[in-house]
Structure 1
């Protein structure tokens, strides 16, 4: 299949899952996870209709930005972000999806203040409590959201989660449902800021349809669009 055909297929499956859940397919955004892809592939994806690209690594993000590879699309940072690399990301992406600690949140706020801007963020929650993954624990999410709301140079837009790799279809629906409930709870607690909190980022190539069925507004899809990933760059 060509890249255009794979993008069309994924969009059709998103739409079908949305209709099964009584949702409007237009309410779900397909984000192309462009980890280890070339600038040429990213440009081809955007030309084929991709409107949001998600990058995992700061080095690749900056290289693609310098190469104008994302022109015509919004850019999100979706990987683990170290505080010493915040300056390479804040103000250069539309959304940071992986803020997971008070320390990182404060670092993003400080850098945004230096630049005189407000950085949109998501809070990442470790919904399955996996030691190998980032994300705050579910019971810590509310306090982190309250901290984000109090800062002047970040704007909380929602939450993100990465459940375990599903061994069989439907395995992650419980994790997605839990994440959806956390999203609803945070919106209810934010009061006058709840209108900004409209992004629930969950679901990847192996489980994005179930994520849509459980309320995702943004799905991060890489392999299903681009095929197996090429080797990581040094």
Structure 2
């Protein structure tokens, strides 16, 4: 079933779009099935669950941490992730910088924006983004590789599309204006099970899909 679901999704998305299988809450057996089906990017949102899977699977997958990351948990995942999607404050960047420096590595992250301004979601508000961007050149061990956002909680596809259009405009602006190696716009992570087709239409090159893979 997992393999069939993945084949169906892959047939729907362009080659340049990375499929991140959201393996949070899934068993180790089902997570391995995703890897066996040819998807190497796995998304986890709880540090404890991630570490349990990492103990078994190690660096076989490219691990994406996609959930809200508490500052006191950063030290446990540094050096183990391909991308941390959910960086939503300078304070969190400070901790990632410090823990990465201890290991002598550069940690790649995405800035999470809350364009829908929903209280239930974490993320940098649009009006605060420039302050974060201006601070980034001061960091040596954190590299911003793109942006991430979630679509609004609504059945209205027009409203979802509006958010994705806005995020793509911000992404393009940063990509055009940035001259610092700390800021590299490579990944636009937007789109989940219910809205990834809209996200791809509006320029996403990385989608995070869980339910449609595992159900």
1:27 and 2:16 correspond: yes
Per the alignment, residue 139 of structure 1 pairs with: 127
Per the alignment, residue 12 of structure 2 pairs with: 13
Give the CA deviation at 1:168.
4.4
Per the alignment, residue 37 of structure 2 pairs with: 48
Name which of 195, 198, 204 aligns with 2:192.
204
The superposition leaves residues 146-174 of structure 1 with CA deviations (integer Å, 9 ceiling, x where unpaired) of 32232000011000001223314454111
Q: Alignment partner of 1:134: what SS?
A: coil
Give the CA deviation at 1:143.
2.0
Q: Tell me how large the CA RMSD over aligned residues is.
A: 1.5
> For the Cα contact (< 8 Å) 1:77–1:93, is it kept in 2?
yes
Per the alignment, residue 4 of structure 1 pairs with: 3
The superposition leaves residues 35-61 of structure 1 with CA deviations (integer Å, 9 ceiling, x where unpaired) of 101111111101001120010111111
Q: Alignment partner of 1:26: what SS?
A: coil
The superposition leaves residues 53-96 of structure 1 with CA deviations (integer Å, 9 ceiling, x where unpaired) of 0101111111100122x653211100000100000111111111
Distance 1:103 1:195 in 2: 17
1:224 and 2:209 correspond: no
Per the alignment, residue 54 of structure 2 pairs with: 65
1:92 and 2:91 correspond: no
- Structure 2 unmatched runs, 5+: none
- Structure 1 unmatched runs, 5+: 15-24, 228-234
Give the CA deviation at 1:189.
2.6
Distance 2:154 2:7 in 1: 23
Q: Alignment partner of 1:46: what SS?
A: helix
> For the Cα contact (< 8 Å) 2:151–2:160, is it kept in 1?
yes
Distance 2:100 2:172 in 1: 27
Per the alignment, residue 26 of structure 2 pairs with: 37
- Aligned residue pairs total 215
1:106-125 equivalences under 5 Å are 106-125=94-113
Give the CA deviation at 1:197.
1.7
Distance 2:40 2:198 in 1: 22
Distance 1:170 1:29 in 2: 24
Per the alignment, residue 21 of structure 1 pairs with: none
TM-score by length of 2: 0.95
Give the CA deviation at 1:196.
3.0
